[in-house]
Structure 1
Amino acid sequence: MAGPTHQPAPPPPARPPTPVDTGSEALAQALHSSFAIVRFLMLVLVVVFLGSSFFIIGPQERGLILRLGRPVGEGEAALLSPGLHWSFPYPIDEVVRVRITEIQTLRSTIGWYAVTPEQELAGTEPPVAPGTPLIPGVDGYLLTGDGNIIHSRATLRYRIEDPLRCVFGFGVGTNGGFDLAGVSNAVLNTLNQALVHAAARFTVDDVLTRNVLGFQEEVLRRFLELARERDLGIVVEQLQVESRPPRQLKQAFDDVVNAAVRRGQVLNEALSYANQTTNRAMSEAAALISRAQADRTRYLESLAAEARRFEGLLAQFERNPDLYMQQRVAEVMARVLTNVQDKFYIPERSDGKTRELRLLLNREPPRPQGAQPGR
């Protein structure tokens, strides 16, 4: 007997279609388009946001990336070389650029009298009346080691050597650029202290005339010493120091300088005359010595020749003394009686007795040549 059969349940009746609302459909399409535009704009903003993080470090610069105020990297690794770099946008990262090859010029602010920028550019000085006192609050000055007052100022040319030290020691600008004000103030204070220190170690004459270069070298030495102690992170390219006497005493200092110049001229003339006299005396002495040496040599040679001649005569004398003596007497008499008209030579007798000499004194005088007899 067959079991009961199960028939499928009939499908539910179809729901009537919902009527289409034209306003809703338009709103849905507008929202869909707006979301697409928003997504596109967001994508563009992300690209622009990320693209703005690229930056370029110039050939004369070094860069630093500060991430939340701390440098990215340590030591030299934190310095960015010239070229293209990337960082997170501000305020996550901040890029600092430091010009390490740019020469900075700084001038001391103490020790110089008041002068306007226009007068400085024109190279003129403010007028000062005779007898006008120096105003300490306006005119700067320095005290020398001997208690005198001078005007002096130093001009320094330097460049940054250690960007890390400068950045973290003197601050960063608000626009990502390096703030030179902090470095300039530190260098200026150091320069002023070096100038005061050097002035106290020199006299007024040394600073103004006698040892100008030494004073400038002392300012540079003291500045470099203080710069190392304070770790300024700079390199000095050039330092020049200009010094002048007080303008109120300019005439007095000029008189002293003129006297010193005149003194130097007189000393130079005296030294020149002394050198000329010494050189002339040395030349004359050398000539006398040379002549004396020549005479000495000549006399020695003459004496040596005479000695050799006497040695030869000695041999002749030893062979025949009488003959030698007669020859010598004859030679001497011939030399002595060269200009005598009448010569009478009476030799000694062989027996040693004297000979008798008879002269006819009234003889006829010699007749001149060409004269006739009887005249």
Structure 2
Amino acid sequence: MEEDDKKLGTGQVGLGDVQPLPKIAVAPGDPAPKAESDSSGSGMKSLMRMARILFLCLRVLIIVILAYLLMSGVFRVDEQNEAMLFRFGALQSRQIENQETSVLTSGRWYWAWPYPIDWVKVLSAQRTVTVSTETFFEPWVKPEPGQAPNRFLRPGADGYLLTGDTNIIHAVAEVNYRIGDPQKYYLEFFDDSEAEGLSGWDSGETTGHHGHGKTEKNERKRGTVAIMQNLLANALLSVSASWSVEDLRTKIKKVGETSVNIEVSVQEKLEMYLKEIDLGVEVQSVKVTFQLPYATLKAFDSVFAASEMGNAEKQKAHLDASTLLSNAEGMAAKIRNEALAYKRNIVESVRADSTYFKTVLAEYKDHPETMLMVLYTDALQEALSKVENKYVLHEKQDSLQEIRLQIGQVPEKSKAPNQEQEAGGAAQ
């Protein structure tokens, strides 16, 4: 009993070490040992009850921790994002739509072990990113309105481009691109040490614990952005070296009968560079803005104004020439049509006369006198139809012909005396 008490005092007794208390022989009439056994039995019962409660609480705590670990590993990849899962630093692959892929697509729920076992990197794969050349090809200080511009560019400070006709021009280019292959983009080119405020699993544009916590935007440029900026500057520099300053100002270059846009050329050159290094991005659009040097702006404006005036005159001359040619072609077509119509009329008339003469000739051969009389009558009728006054002379029996012509006005006839008296009586 003393050894058991020592074990309880030193905490060396477990639940498995508890043994039934030995029976103590008590003589009749001796109550002291019974009281001592009752007190030690109640203490053991309290200790066992406390141990059971502690073990129950421990079980509940373990269950809660396991449930938290299981539930905290559930995360969802939002729209316009993708994700990659790393386990102890190794990229993991999963079966998605019967295909094994290492990129977790958007709009799905996933599960991962808590950090540091699993590490989820959220990727802004569908988001459009804009990169600009900024001050690569711009002057360091721009003159204020009304301020006289600097006469010379400062080497090493002012940026500019050399054109194909040995002129100088300033430019700013912007490219919009999206991440086409997140695995190549983030694993082969992106450097986590260049980003600011990175914590936990994420080294992209958001930070959190398992991809479903709070997010913070990272405003610092990353290594891939710097690569895109340099490639864009190289593409612009390469293309502008073969263009004249006038073509760069209008952004259009004539190649034979076709026209080439400077922005399209820069985009094609940039895509060629990206294909060589396999960056994993897709170029959507390129925008280029040109600015002439401030010291020569007025001179260039005068030259361009004269060039535009000359082009306007050329266009006007071409328009006038096309108008005159159109009018001449229309007049020629009209004359040809009238000649063809006149030809058809003459041919039809001659054909009709030929048919008539053939018919008359056949009738004349059969009845010559009758046909002569008919022809004479027709000719006389046609001749008389063309004159207004007609005089017909008839032959008398004495072979004399008389024609009476009235010359001057016909005089009025005088009234008889009886008629004059009747007229006077009526007046009275």
- TM-score, normalized by length of structure 1? 0.70
- 2:69–2:113 CA contact under 8 A, matched in 1: no
SS in 1 for 2:336: helix
Please tell me the residue identity of whatever aligns with 1:368. I
Deviation at 1:313, TM superposition (A): 3.2
User: Where do 1:189-338 residues align within 5 Å?
Assistant: 189-209=230-250, 211=252, 214-319=261-366, 331=379, 335=383
Q: What are the Cα deviations for residues 106-152 of structure 1, in whole angstroms up to 9, with x where unaligned? A: 11146532468xx9xxxx96776245212232221112222222122
In the alignment, what sits opposite 2:397? none
Q: What is the rounded CA distance, in whole Å, between the counterparts of 2:69 and 2:407 in structure 1?
A: 149
Residue 261 of structure 2: SS of its match in structure 1? Answer: helix
C-alpha distance 68-308 of structure 1, shift in aligned 2 (>3 A): same
How far apart, in 1, do the equivalents of 2:390 and 2:71 lie?
A: 140
Ranges in structure 2 where 5+ consecutive residues have no aligned partner: 1-24, 26-32, 37-42, 206-221, 254-259, 394-402, 412-428
Change (3 A) 1:338 1:234: closer
Q: Whole-Å Cα distance in 1 between the matches of residues 249 and 375 of structure 2? A: 88
Instruction: Report if the CA contact (8 A) 1:146-1:202 is conserved.
Output: yes
Amino acid at match of 2:356: R
Equivalent in 74, 95, 115 of residue 120 of structure 2: 95
Which consecutive residues of structure 1, in runs of 5 or more, have no partner in the other structure?
A: 1-13, 20-24, 345-363
SS where residue 147 of structure 1 aligns?
Answer: coil
Which of 169-178 and 138-147 deviates more? 169-178
Tell me the secondary structure at the aligned position of residue 151 of structure 2: coil
- Matching of residues 123-162 of structure 1 within 5 Å: 129-130=148-149, 132-162=151-181
Deviation at 1:367, TM superposition (A): 5.9
Which amino acid in 2 is paired with 1:281? Answer: A
Q: How many Å apart are 1:155 and its aligned residue?
A: 1.2
Deviation at 1:316, TM superposition (A): 4.5
Q: Does residue 57 in structure 1 map to residue 77 in structure 2?
A: yes
Give 1:67's aligned residue: 87
Conserved 8 A contact 2:251-2:262:
no
| Higher mean C-alpha displacement, 72-81 vs 293-302 | 72-81
How far did 1:225 drift?
1.3
Equivalent position amino acid for 1:202 in 2:
W
Q: Hey, what does 1:178 align to over in structure 2?
A: 203
Q: By how many angstroms is 1:73 displaced?
A: 2.2
Do 1:64 and 1:95's aligned partners in 2 also have CA atoms closer than 8 Å? yes
Contact (CA 8 Å) 2:139, 2:170: kept in 1 or not? no
Q: Which of 100, 103, 114 in structure 2 is aligned with 1:79? A: 103
Question: In the TM superposition, what is the alpha-carbon distance from 1:90 to its structure 2 partner?
Answer: 3.0
Compute the TM-score of the two structures, normalised by the length of structure 2.
0.62
For 1:297 and 1:221, locate their aligned partners in 2 and report how far apart those are by CA, in whole Å. Answer: 64
Partner of 1:113: 138
How big is the shift at 1:218? 0.4
Q: How do residues 19-34 of structure 1 correspond to structure 2 at under 5 angstroms? A: none
Give the aligned partner of residue 4 of structure 1. none
> What is the number of residues matched between the two proteins?
327
Within 1, Cα distance between the matches of 2:184 and 2:286? 22
- Does the aligned pair in 1 maintain the 2:133–2:232 contact within 8 Å? yes
Structure 1 CA distance, aligned partners of 2:57 and 2:155?
Answer: 70
**Relative to structure 2, which stretch is displaced further, 107-116 or 183-192?**
107-116
Contact map agreement 2:162 2:241 (CA 8 A) in 1: yes
1:368 equivalent to 2:407? Answer: yes
56-65 or 240-249: bigger deviation: 56-65
Q: CA deviation at 1:288?
A: 1.5
Question: Deviation of residue 186 (structure 1)?
Answer: 1.8
Distance in 2 separating the partners of 1:298 and 1:340? 34
AA aligned to 1:77 is T
Q: Aligned equivalents of 1:84 and 1:282: distance in 2?
A: 74
Q: Shift of residue 318 of structure 1?
A: 3.7
Mapped partners of 2:162, 2:100: distance in 1: 44
Specify whether residues 127 and 62 from structure 1 end up closer, same or farther in structure 2 by C-alpha distance, changes over 3 A only.
farther
Whole-Å separation in 2 of the counterparts to 1:52 and 1:136: 58
Which AA in structure 2 matches 1:96? K
Q: CA deviation at 1:76?
A: 5.4
1:326 Cα deviation from its structure 2 partner? 8.3
Matched to 1:105, the amino acid is T
Code of the residue aligned with 1:63 in structure 2: it is: A
Q: CA RMSD in A?
A: 4.5
Q: Name the % identity.
A: 25
SS of equivalent residue, structure 1 residue 153? strand
Q: CA deviation at 1:265?
A: 2.0
> Does the residue aligned with 2:295 lie in a helix, a strand or coil?
helix
